[in-house]
A and B are shown apart, each in its own frame.
Chain A
């Protein structure tokens, strides 16, 4: 087990370094001078030279690269060109918004996608059940999250005025209340603030969750098909066990390993989805921060956001691979 984890780490570290290198060099070939972007076209050459020196852009590229890697490992991504605050502070403030969106959409996707996938696999010979379910999955897969988001806004925010059009609620306030212990002294205020956050979260989570449910249902269907074609399922049926028991006792439990794969794929798709979802719903978060940073040519902020996205995906995949070895001892790294 330890050898497996060590070997998996040996693969993940170069992958992380490679991904971070791609981010660094991509940001260095971006058109436009960061200092001009920050100070405007009217800045004097002296001021621009000072800015270039302050940002460390006058140093050799190799030195900047090593510096970036070293700082990134300590989550130090420099200061935002526009706002002047440390990028890591921004990321720290935005991360909870993205995190709760991913979690809420995961719940929606799991509640919708896994049952659809399982039923679709078990009832694949019954076109009256399988076909509608697969059509729903295909529609979800084909529907861009930004379009579904807009449709939800049109119906539930503009037409029926049930949900807010923009924003993410006062999540910072909720977290501050948790940190300061006001959660116990002022439980009503806390619940109201949580309610407000959930109110803002509902439509984005539904939009992202529904599009993700399509992927989850297809992966669940595949996983179920894989499991029910195994010999032990045939054996269970051959010994006369009822179908319900075969499914609940044998098939569902053994779906755990293939379902773990879903988590890795899910996080990657969900994080990408947050870029579009947060933009549609004008919701604070890492995704919107990235889009705004690119638009404003705020390179350190964009670099920091992309690095955090990539790191998260690599770390989640690493953890998932390790979980494989825990839930299925037959798996070894080759």
Chain B
């Protein structure tokens, strides 16, 4: 009977050395595998985008009148098929990676550079400065990212720079709010008091002591927002408000292919898949990093 047989508490609490190290390595694998996979996917995407002129089998704008709307593999030179102008889908997707990643990375950088200093100033200074900054952020937060980006792009026109600006502005309040909440905690720390006691000016304290302590958490969030930015760019291009054709972007390839879903679903399928893989890569990295830093999940 279970009640009679008493387990040795040492056996229960301390697993064997081999078992413990196996459990530890399993734990490490669980934590780092998603980051590894996500990072590998993201790096491959970035390399493909950077090396598009070398990797793409054909020019993204070259039209082949003899191979209009051909399926994947129907013609040897068009691995993923062609669109309504006979353009090579694979080459357009490879070149499209440039637009998506450029917008994704640059708009997050823009939001970071604009939002983080404002958030730190709001958090450290407090008072009216904080109220003014936060009310402006609240106003922008009233708009969902795509809607705000849509308004700005409509007003400025669909160019690469305007898309970066639009998505960057739309993401700025997120960085601002996070930087402020981190700064609010950090400003109460003893080392900030010590820095002030040593005569450090407010600007110096913010730049040398507060900012470096926020970077870690902000970079994790930035990774997740790259995914949001890529998805938003694709959404804008899909609505016809992004970079206009013939420059390929994943969103506009998908949008153009929509008219041909009945006969030629490969156009929308592959371009959508590219968007999903890119978004998934940055989500995987950001998600895993966030879990790694989540104090509630410590020790699991």
A residues near B (Cβ < 8 Å) are 11, 14-16, 18-19, 21-23, 26-27, 29-31, 124-125, 127, 138-139, 141-144, 146-147, 150-151, 153-154, 158, 225-226, 229, 268-269, 271-272, 275-276, 279-280, 290-291, 294-295, 302, 306, 309-310, 313-314
In chain B, what residue has the closest Cβ to A314?
B142
In chain B between 122 and 158, which residues have their CB closer than 8 angstroms to a CB of chain A? Answer: 135-136, 138-140, 142-147, 150-152, 154-157
Q: How far is the CA of A18 from the CA of B296 in the complex (A)?
A: 37
**Does B55 belong to the interface (CB within 8 Å)?**
no
A26 and B155 contact, Cβ closer than 8 Å, known pairs A151-B269, A306-B147, A314-B142: yes
**Which residues of the partner chain B approach A146 to less than 8 Å between Cβ atoms?**
234-235, 238, 254, 272
A15 and B300 contact, Cβ closer than 8 Å, known pairs A139-B280, A154-B265, A276-B239: no
**Does B207 belong to the interface (CB within 8 Å)?**
no
Q: Are A276 and B235 in contact (CB under 8 A)?
A: yes
**Which residues of the partner chain A approach B261 to less than 8 Å between Cβ atoms?**
150, 153-154, 158
**Does B117 belong to the interface (CB within 8 Å)?**
no
**Does B240 belong to the interface (CB within 8 Å)?**
yes
B residues near A (Cβ < 8 Å) are 30, 135-136, 138-140, 142-147, 150-152, 154-157, 227, 231, 234-235, 238-241, 254, 258, 261-262, 265, 268-269, 272-273, 275-277, 279-280, 283-284, 287, 296-297, 300
Q: Are B279 and A142 in contact (CB under 8 A)?
A: yes
Instruction: Choose among A23, A127, A302, A313 the residue that contacts B30 (Cβ–Cβ < 8 A).
Output: A127
Can you list 18 A-B pairs, Cβ within 8 angstroms, ordered by A?
A15-B135, A15-B138, A16-B142, A22-B143, A30-B154, A138-B287, A142-B231, A142-B283, A143-B279, A226-B296, A275-B239, A276-B238, A290-B150, A294-B154, A306-B151, A310-B142, A310-B143, A313-B144
Q: How far is the CA of A4 from the CA of B73 in the complex (A)?
A: 65
Q: Are B241 and A31 in contact (CB under 8 A)?
A: no
Q: Are B276 and A313 in contact (CB under 8 A)?
A: no
Residue in B140, B227, B235, B240 with the greatest tally of chain A CB atoms within 10 Å:
B235
**Which residues of the partner chain B approach A15 to less than 8 Å between Cβ atoms?**
135, 138-139, 142
In chain B, what residue has the closest Cβ to A303?
B151
CB distance from A119 to the nearest CB of B (A): 16
**Which residues of the partner chain A approach B143 to less than 8 Å between Cβ atoms?**
19, 22, 310, 313
CB distance from B287 to the nearest CB of A (A): 7
**Which residues of the partner chain B approach A125 to less than 8 Å between Cβ atoms?**
300
A29 and B142 contact, Cβ closer than 8 Å, known pairs A144-B234, A150-B268, A276-B238: no
Q: Are B284 and A143 in contact (CB under 8 A)?
A: no
**Which residues of the partner chain A approach B254 to less than 8 Å between Cβ atoms?**
146-147, 150
**Which residues of the partner chain A approach B138 to less than 8 Å between Cβ atoms?**
11, 15, 18
**Which residues of the partner chain B approach A272 to less than 8 Å between Cβ atoms?**
144-147
Instruction: Choose among B155, B240, B262 the residue that contacts A158 (Cβ–Cβ < 8 A).
Output: B262
Q: How far is the CA of A309 from the CA of B148 in the complex (A)?
A: 11
Instruction: Choose among B144, B154, B279 the residue that contacts A26 (Cβ–Cβ < 8 A).
Output: B154
Residue in B135, B154, B156 with the greatest tally of chain A CB atoms within 10 Å:
B154
**Which residues of the partner chain B approach A314 to less than 8 Å between Cβ atoms?**
142
Instruction: Choose among A18, A138, A144 the residue that contacts B139 (Cβ–Cβ < 8 A).
Output: A18
Q: Are B151 and A26 in contact (CB under 8 A)?
A: yes
**Which residues of the partner chain A approach B157 to less than 8 Å between Cβ atoms?**
31
Q: Are A309 and B272 in contact (CB under 8 A)?
A: no
CB distance from B94 to the nearest CB of A (A): 18
Q: How far is the CA of A306 from the CA of B147 in the complex (A)?
A: 8
Instruction: Choose among A18, A29, A225, A271 the residue that contacts B297 (Cβ–Cβ < 8 A).
Output: A225
Q: How far is the CA of A31 from the CA of B287 in the complex (A)?
A: 40
Q: Are A30 and B155 in contact (CB under 8 A)?
A: yes
CB distance from A60 to the nearest CB of B (A): 20
**Which residues of the partner chain A approach B151 to less than 8 Å between Cβ atoms?**
22-23, 26, 306
CB distance from A157 to the nearest CB of B (A): 9
Residue in B142, B146, B268, B273 with the greatest tally of chain A CB atoms within 10 Å:
B142
**Which residues of the partner chain B approach A280 to less than 8 Å between Cβ atoms?**
258
Q: Are A143 and B152 in contact (CB under 8 A)?
A: no
Q: Are A147 and B142 in contact (CB under 8 A)?
A: no
Q: Are A144 and B155 in contact (CB under 8 A)?
A: no
Q: Are B268 and A147 in contact (CB under 8 A)?
A: yes
Q: Are A142 and B227 in contact (CB under 8 A)?
A: yes
CB distance from A93 to the nearest CB of B (A): 21
Q: How far is the CA of A119 from the CA of B265 in the complex (A)?
A: 36
